[in-house]
Amino acid sequence: MTSLADQSTAQLGGPWSILARQKRDHVRLDELLHELASSTPGAEERRVLRSIARLVFPHAFAEESVLWPQARRLVADGEALTLQVESEHQEVNELWTSLETLPPTGSERREVLRRLAEVLREDVRDEEDHLLPQLQEGLGAAQLRVLGLAWEVVRRTAPTRPHPVVSRRPPGNALAALPLTVLDRSRDVLDAVADRSPRLWGRASRASAGLAGAAGRVEQWGPMRRGERPQTSR
Ligand SMILES: [Fe+2]
Ligand SMILES: [Fe+2]
């Protein structure tokens, strides 16, 4: 069993296989984490964090709803391996949520950012070194491409922000996908408007905060938590 890190694109099943798609995102994440480490607190750091959120949350949401259920069916210790990765995703969601309430500078924020980068890197290693190579053993190149397409479709239409309360597993996360995606992506548009136009900053920020409140209420709805394991519940 060889880590994805040590395999060529051809060995991963071609550029459209789920393994090559995963590796491309993980490489991009590593670049962004280096940018984050060298960014100055304030606008620059916020910009890099936003890029990381837009990459990480849809990526992980699509893993939880499309990939890990398959891994639990196909991989011998899929239950334990996917639970480990889901616990890392849960920690990322919780750290990010706490970041949103902390002042823009200070030791507490620095510590949250340090742990965030650390757990994101641990998640990549667990996936590339253990979980995904095991999934690879059970699937041919054509199946890897089909799974890659399914993951990509969900990733492009998934929530873009942390949601620590919703289930990390189906059926809860599948039910949550549509309303949270609409709310998150509307907030992304409003935040971009607020960034670009000082005149509209107040109105756009208030509207975004209103949608954040709505997302919080959606998350609390009981069916969104169905399928959750105690290890990833909050
Ligand atoms: Fe991943
Ligand atoms: Fe992940």
Q: Express each pLDDT in 168-203 by its tens digit.
A: 999 999 888 899 999 999 999 999 998 888 889 999
Q: What is the pLDDT of residue 36?
A: 97
Question: How many Å lie between the centroid of ligand 2 and the Cα of residue 26?
Answer: 9
Q: Tell me the ligand closest to 30's alpha carbon.
A: 1
- Distance between Cα 199 and ligand 2 center (Å): 38
- Residues 177 and 61 sit within 8 Å (Cβ to Cβ): yes
CA 120 / ligand 1 centre spacing (Å)? 9
From CA 49, how far away is CA 32, in angstroms rounded? 8
d(CA 67, CA 132): 10
Please tell me the distance between residue 98's alpha carbon and the centre of ligand 1 in angstroms. Answer: 22
- The ligand whose atoms approach the alpha carbon of 84 most closely is 2
Lowest-pLDDT range of 83-87, 117-121, 167-171, 220-224 = 220-224
Q: Residue range 159-173: average pLDDT?
A: 94
Cis peptide bond prior to 179, omega within 30° of 0: no
What is residue 88's DSSP assignment? H
Confidence of residue 233 (pLDDT cuts 50, 70, 90): confident
Centre of ligand 1 from the C-alpha of residue 40, in Å? 27
40 close to 70: Cβ distance less than 8 angstroms: no
Tokens (6 digits) for 83: 């639970």
Mean pLDDT, residues 72-95 taken together: 97
Task: Say how far apart CA 178 and CA 169 lie, in whole Å.
Answer: 15
| 208 in Cβ contact with 154 (< 8 Å) | no
DSSP character at residue 40: P
Q: Which two tokens stand for residue 164?
A: 């620590």
Q: Which ligand is nearest to the CA of 151?
A: 1
At residue 190's C-alpha, the angle toward residues 184 and 192, to 5°, is 105
How far from each other are the two terminal CA atoms of the chain, in whole angstroms?
Answer: 34
Ligand closest to CA 64: 2
Residue 186: the pLDDT is: 95
Distance 124 CA to ligand 1 centre (A): 6
The tally of CA atoms less than 13 A away on the side-chain side of residue 135 is 33
Q: Report the separation in Å between the CA atom of 196 and the middle of ligand 1, taken as the mean of its atom positions.
A: 32
b (16+ CB within 10 A) / e for 116-130? bbebbeebbebbbeb
DSSP state of 232: G
> What pLDDT does 184 receive?
95
60 CA distance to ligand 1 middle (Å)? 6
Residue 33 binned pLDDT confidence (cut-offs 50, 70, 90): very high
**Where do the H-state alpha helices sit in the chain?**
18-38, 43-62, 68-74, 78-99, 107-126, 132-137, 141-156, 172-196, 201-220
Check if the beta carbon of residue 194 is closer than 8 Å to that of residue 146.
no
Q: Which ligand is nearest to the CA of 81?
A: 2
**Which pLDDT score, from 0 to 100, does residue 54 have?**
96
Average pLDDT, the chain: 94
Q: Read off the tokens for 34.
A: 């280096």
Measured in Å, residue 165 CA sits from the centre of ligand 2 at 17
Vertex 96: Cα angle to 90 and 97 (nearest 5): 90
